[in-house]
Amino acid sequence: MSQAPGAQPSPPTVYHERQRLELCAVHALNNVLQQQLFSQEAADEICKRPLSQLALPQVLGLILNLPSPVSLGLLSLPLRRRHWVALRQVDGVYYNLDSKLRAPEALGDEDGVRAFLAAALAQGLCEVLLVVTKEVEEKGSWLRTD
């Protein structure tokens, strides 16, 4: 069917969720997928389930974005800022390499780093980025399939 001369083509229908509460990750997923596929509950479940399915030996490191209290000297203010923290395995031991610490903090083996991640995620408002090689990313081998 052809359009009348001079008629403007109709704009495409674009799915777009607006920000509500602190659900920007859910909105971003749905906006990219162009439909409402994820809810807060579904996203929370996905975050909890891959934690146990992470193939940690395939992961070079983890970067967490956490809420961080604000203080002036000994005075703690009722404000929260975001802070990035690195976790990495060195010689079989996982370490918290938070730049605010005086020295690296040993977390232990895989169970120790999983416990640390679970505690961080339980606080809410935590984001976890995996640092992997291009090969691991392409194969998806950072996630166990068993």
On whether the CB atoms of residues 136 and 119 are closer than 8 A, the answer is no
Count other Cβ atoms within 10 Å, centred on residue 113. 22
Tracing tokens 């704009």 back to the chain, one arrives at 11
User: How far is C-alpha 26 from the geometric centre of its chain's CA atoms?
Assistant: 12
Q: Tell me the C-alpha to C-alpha distance, in Å, between residue 27 and each of 38, 51, 122.
A: 8, 22, 21
Backbone angles phi, psi at 81, to 5 degrees: -115, 170
- Candidate list 27, 47, 83, 126, residue with the active-site label: 83
Q: Report which of 73, 80, 74 is spatially closest to residue 123, judged by C-alpha positions.
A: 80
Told to judge if 16 belongs to the known catalytic residues of this protein, a careful annotator would answer no
Annotated catalytic residue: which of 16, 24, 27, 126? 24
Residue 24: active-site member: yes
Catalytic sites, residue numbers: 24, 83
